[in-house]
Amino acid sequence: MDQDEGTATAVDTANPTAERPSLPPSAMGLVPIAQRYRIGEQLGKGGMGEVLDAHDDQIGRDVAIKRMRSDVPSEKQIARFMREARIQGRLEHPAIVPVHELGRDADGRPYFAMKKLKGITLAEIFKAEDASKYPLQRQLRALADVCLAVELAHTRGFIHRDLKPDNIMLGDFGETYVLDWGVAKVTGEDDDSVVSTDDGGVEPLVTAAGAAVGTPGYMSPEQARGLVDVDARADVYSLGCVLFELLT
Instruction: Quickly list H helices, 53-98.
Output: 75-90
β pairing state of 168-171 and 176-178: antiparallel
Q: How many Cα atoms are found within 13 Å in the side-chain-facing hemisphere of 173?
A: 3
Give 248 or 190, the one with higher predicted confidence: 248
Give 231 or 77, the one with higher predicted confidence: 231
- Residue 23 is predicted with a pLDDT of 47
Residue type, 112: F
Reported residue count of the chain is 248
Residue 200 has pLDDT above 50, yes or no: no
- Residue 139 is predicted with a pLDDT of 97
Q: Which residues pair with 41 in a beta bridge?
A: 8
Kindly list the distances between the CA atom of residue 38 and the CA atoms of 20, 53, 60, in Å, as whole numbers in the listed order: 21, 9, 11
Q: What is the longest distance spanned by two Cα atoms in the chain?
A: 60
Q: How far apart are CA 189 and CA 187, in angstroms?
A: 6
CA 178 from centre of chain: 9
Rg of the chain, C-alpha, whole Å: 18
Q: How far apart are CA 122 and CA 41, in angstroms?
A: 24
Kindly list the distances between the CA atom of residue 120 and the CA atoms of 22, 165, 234, in Å, as whole numbers in the listed order: 40, 10, 25
CATH says 119-247 is which class?
Answer: mainly alpha
Residue 223 has pLDDT above 50, yes or no: yes
Q: How far apart are CA 146 and CA 179, in angstroms?
A: 10
pLDDT in tens, 78-127: 888 999 999 999 999 999 999 999 988 888 889 999 999 999 999 999 99
Q: How far apart are CA 222 and CA 163, in angstroms?
A: 15
pLDDT in tens, 116-166: 999 999 999 999 999 899 999 999 999 999 999 999 999 999 999 999 999
Please state the φ and ψ torsions of residue 92, each to the nearest 5 degrees: -90, 105
Please state the φ and ψ torsions of residue 46, each to the nearest 5 degrees: -135, -160
Question: Known catalytic residues?
Answer: 162
Q: Is 142 exposed, middle or buried (0-12, 13-18, 19+ CB in 10 A)?
A: buried
> Which residue ranges make up each domain of the chain?
2-115, 119-247
Kindly list the distances between the CA atom of residue 126 and the CA atoms of 44, 106, 157, 236, 241, in Å, as whole numbers in the listed order: 20, 40, 31, 21, 14
- Residue 29 is predicted with a pLDDT of 53
pLDDT in tens, 12-54: 434 444 444 444 544 445 666 877 899 999 998 877 889 999 9
Instruction: Quickly list H helices, 91-132.
Output: 122-127
**Which CATH superfamily is 2-115 part of?**
Phosphorylase Kinase; domain 1 (3.30.200.20)
Split at pLDDT 50, 70, 90, the class of 192 is: low
